Amino acid sequence: MKQYPADRIRNVGLFSHGGAGKTSLAEALLFDTKGISRLGRVEDGTTVSDFDPDEVKRHISVSTAVVPIEWRDTKINILDAPGYADFLGEVKSALRVVDAAVIVVDASAGVEVGTEQAWRLSGERQIPRLIFINKMDRENADFGQALASAREAFGKAVAPIQFPIGSEKSFKGFIDLLSEQALTFHDNQDGGFETGPIPDELQEECETYRRQLVEAIAEQDEELTLRYLDDDPISTEELIAGLESCVRDGCVVPVLCGAATSNRGMQPLLDAMVDYLPGADRTVERATNGAIDEIRADPAGPLAAFAFKTVADPHVGRVTYVRVFSGTLKSTSHVLNASKGKPERVGQLFYARGKEHLNTDAIVAGDMGAVGKLATVVTGDTITDEHHPLTLDGISFPGTAYAASVNPKTKADLDKMGQALQRLAEEDPTLQISRDPISGEMIVSGLGEPHVQIALDRMTRRYGVNVDLGLPRVAYRETISAKTLAEYKHKKQTGGAGQYGHVFLELEPLPDGDFAFGERVVGGAVPKNFFPAVEKGVREALEAGPLAGYPVVNLKVTLTDGTYHDVDSNEMAFKIASKEAFKKGVLAAKPVLLEPVLTIEVTVPESYMGDVMSDLNGKRAHVSGMTPGANGTTTIEATVPAAEVQRYATDLRSITQGRGSFTTAFSHYQPVPAHLAEQIKAAAKHHEAAHT
């Protein structure tokens, strides 16, 4: 594949709700530009951009694929991003490096929650957009309805530049509103079409849609507005020129239509990408530090490349996908990872087309490519010239919403698991790996249950690590609710030196503190040199309470009395005595099981308020307030036991069809209701029996 100057490069992301047909669209665009000789199908697992085994198995995209194509002496880097909420991190990575977005809409479903999210995120990045209404050949396809839903959701800037001739099985072409011509597709799926006059029966519809388009373009130009109001004809050339600047400024969003699986409408879409979407030369990046502020796509400028994706390939090693914003990245060159201040040696560069690697000697400003085996570069890092270090803005990834505990099945799995999990986290920054300090469990957190499950399936396939997945153990605590005095005498005589320690411990609740230790011994009943051993014994006993083995908190322990033996008393004896006295004391002081309580903020459209409130009430939540937000949403503030919301990411998605979001933070501990406490104790005994 030849190198192109920045003004002949388009970096375009495909974004949508899951299942709108982005991958089929990328496949058809690749076919029409002669990148492949046969159209693959998502259902058969034969598409170029869904090559990962998880994607083939599930028939969905789980990571962003880069598909470079060539059309009209222009290189278009297509980024096929996943549409499911669990893979939002991949969408954010793609949006960070594209210059324009094609929002794909299912003709039968119209705007869905994923469409709204893609629109909002691309709007935040202020990148120009097109809307492509796909699946016009499917049952229940309705262009008018899909367009109406887009205009309602995204405003009057949405204006069609095409409208279809027929729909469902009779979808056979479209009217081009700019050239005022009818395009009729070939029946052999070669992507071609014939041009002819507009059929009489569609003239009225054509005038309506064209008026919408002319209004949208003319509104942005004072001279055109006056001419439009005076019924002064505006030429097609003037409209096309006006449309290009309107798209670039984001004040007009052209709507196109077609059917990717039957390869209809692809070539006009390619033309629109070339004609209306901005070239890579128009992108101006700003450095967060460094001598240069503005970074433009100058191949002779200082090197500034951004790593937007990392893949841990078991055969090739780590593969890093980069977008070069300035300068030229060359094979076998020495560069600097400016984000970490570490030198790197660049190996063989290549353009990635799905899983195919097309070698190249250099990647120029404005273009994208990949490189293998970089030692320190991960997603979000900036690669620069050693003499002109500068850093680009990173990617703001979403926080985790679901956590699972991961337990290796065998000793061999345990040995390999830590490194394998680390590699997964390098590849996917939205995965968080941690270890619970109390339970010792390895915790993997992600954006949802499928996200974590797919990541662990990948770990099993790539690294041969087999694990069991479960919900993390809730961090319960134990405490006391009454004051008590406990005594224990540890006496051991088996010939030779014996052991003797005898203590009286006073236990009392301490609501405002975690733990305190004191002594009130009179007359030297316990020598001072044994006080630290007594405290140590108590502190060891705190780690696993007698109710269910959880840490004991919120109490004060005072050593009040005891006895000792001149020969047999030692630190070990007093440590054991205090430990046992503490256990007895806790059981006598009306012990209570405590559960962690979270503050939760749930933001949902008002139409789902009732269902979400009802669900929260069923989770023992206490709602403290509701705050109206933007776009008809409301944020519910509540406190809820942590045990009740371990699967809340899945529950909320189900209730709100993916339109709800939430955040949590630890608040406090509170006593567990008696009926639930018995269940927790039984589960703890079962867990202990299973691990002994």
DSSP 487-543: EEEEEE-SSSS-EEEEEEEEEEE-TT-SEEEEE---TTSS-GGGHHHHHHHHHHHHT
**Angle 173-178-180 from CA coordinates, rounded to 5°:** 60
Position 497 scores a pLDDT of: 72
Entry pTM = 0.88
pLDDT, position 38: 93
Query: Does the pLDDT of residue 460 top 80, yes or no?
Result: yes
Nearest to 349 by CA among 377, 371, 327, 319: 371
pLDDT of 286 above 90: no
**373-419 pLDDT, tens per residue?**
999 999 999 999 988 899 999 999 988 889 999 999 999 999 999 99
Chain-centroid distance of CA 229 in Å reads: 48
CATH 3.40.50.300 correct for 6-282: yes
C-alpha to C-alpha distance for 678 and 676, rounded to whole angstroms: 5
> How far is 605 from 628, CA to CA, in rounded Å?
10
**How many residues are listed for the chain in this entry?**
692
The pair of three-digit structure tokens given for residue 330, joined into one six-digit string: 């060359």
Residue 636: pLDDT over 80: yes
* Banded model confidence at residue 161, pLDDT cuts 50, 70, 90: very high
- Same topology between domain 402-470 and domain 594-676: yes
Mean pLDDT of 256-271: 97
CA angle 159–165–166, rounded 5-degree value: 115
Residues in a beta bridge with 669? 596
Q: CATH classification of 284-392 is 3.40.50.300, yes or no?
A: no
The domain 402-470 having CATH identifier 3.40.50.300: the answer here is no
Query: Helix or strand or coil: residue 319?
Result: strand
Distances from the Cα of 211 to the Cα of 75, 202, 207, angstroms: 33, 14, 6
Neighbours of 615 (CB within 10 A): 18
Q: Which CATH class is domain 477-589?
A: alpha beta
> Domain 594-676 has what CATH class?
alpha beta
For residue 284, what pLDDT is reported?
87
Q: What is the pLDDT, as a whole number, of residue 312?
A: 81
Place of tokens 């009179």: 522
Question: What is the per-residue pLDDT for 354?
Answer: 86
Q: Which whole number is the average pLDDT over 473-484?
A: 94
Q: Match 């256990």 to its residue by tokens.
A: 583
Cα-Cα-Cα-Cα dihedral of 495, 497, 498, 503, to 10°? 170
Domain ranges, ordered by start, for the chain = 6-282, 284-392, 402-470, 477-589, 594-676
Spatial CA neighbour of 683 closest among 548, 544, 551, 550: 548
pLDDT in tens, 289-334: 766 678 999 999 999 999 999 998 767 788 999 999 999 999 999 9
User: What are the angstrom distances between the C-alpha of 256 and each of 76, 204, 386, 676?
Assistant: 18, 19, 45, 57
E strand or H helix that includes residue 205: helix 203-218
pLDDT tens-digit series, residues 166-222: 999 999 999 999 999 999 999 999 999 999 999 999 999 999 999 889 888 988 888
C-alpha 641/C-alpha 664 separation (Å) is: 11
